[in-house]
Amino acid sequence: MANKKKYTLKTAGPDDPIYKEGFQIYAVSSKQDYAQQRKQKEGLENQFLHPVNLKQSRTKILKELIKVLQNNGWKLRRKNDAN
């Protein structure tokens, strides 16, 4: 991944737009179709898409998602960390 960006995750507060405005759901047939629809409707491009095995335990899914985010340049900040 040559195009790694730094991201910081934080908990959404009660005034966060996702609670007020909601989020878009798309009926798609493939990842490429989803990316194309999103780009047309919102003008946004996906940074990355990663499949999730829903048959795994919640803990394993969470660990896998954290690993994928970190591999794509995201920085995980825990509640007890100062940074």
Q: Where are the domains of the chain?
A: 14-46, 47-83
Name the DSSP class of 51: -
Name the DSSP class of 30: S
pTM higher than 0.85: no
**pLDDT tens track for 37-83:** 778 877 777 777 778 888 999 999 999 988 988 888 888 877 665 54
Q: Which residues of 41-71 are buried (b: 16+ CB within 10 A; e: fewer)?
A: eeeeeeeeeeeeeeeeeeeeeeeeeeeebee
